[in-house]
Chains A and B, each alone.
Chain A
């Protein structure tokens, strides 16, 4: 059965800290891995990763995929209170249904 596991489930840090969120997966017919940020409402898209070893970066956020070890990490440097959210990881199964398999998310709280 396809699954996506995120760790840790929750994390509390202070402003300025650097955090690393993990996403491991076991998905047949892997096509891509996506990261989303959810702040009390709709998830907003952060990154899509398809190739190993190529870092995607947007401001203080970056992400990389390891297709051999079947995981991805999301790094946030110099965290701010506005980074407080649930970070969701999803993997697309390119099989006949092309469904996204979702992790449970990591709840990040950044304290001032």
Chain B
């Protein structure tokens, strides 16, 4: 089955620790995105990548880092510099054939203790 997977589903970390969220897709999509969703707020773009080995900052990139070494994978690292990391993180991808439509993974809920 084609789709986007994110792991883990739930993640707990202590303050001061870095943590990496996984996002994998087998849809052969070129573009991938990371969003953060907080209660009462819309989706906010953290980073996006239009092609392998290239990525751009979104609206709230501070305290986050990404890599895009493979087309299928776009991991997000939440660093200790991120002041309020507790949130729901969504990964998405889109095809060059229908670039406007983004398809989402199931999300990772990160809680900082």
Contact = CB atoms under 8 A, between A and B. Distances in A.
Contacts of B90: 42-43
Nearest to B104: A42
Contacts of B103: 45
What is the predominant secondary structure among interface residues of chain A facing chain B? Answer: strand
Q: How large is the interface on B (under 10, 10 to 19, 20 to 34, 35 or more residues)?
A: 20 to 34
Interface string B81-113: 000000000100000001111111111000000
Contacts of A31: 100
A98 B98 CA distance: 13
Interface string A95-109: 001111011110000
A64 B32 CA distance: 28
A34 B58 CA distance: 19
A65 interface: no
28 contacts: A31-B100, A32-B100, A34-B101, A41-B106, A42-B90, A43-B90, A43-B104, A44-B104, A45-B101, A45-B102, A48-B98, A48-B100, A48-B101, A88-B42, A88-B43, A90-B43, A92-B100, A97-B56, A98-B99, A99-B48, A100-B43, A102-B42, A102-B43, A102-B44, A103-B42, A104-B41, A104-B42, A105-B42
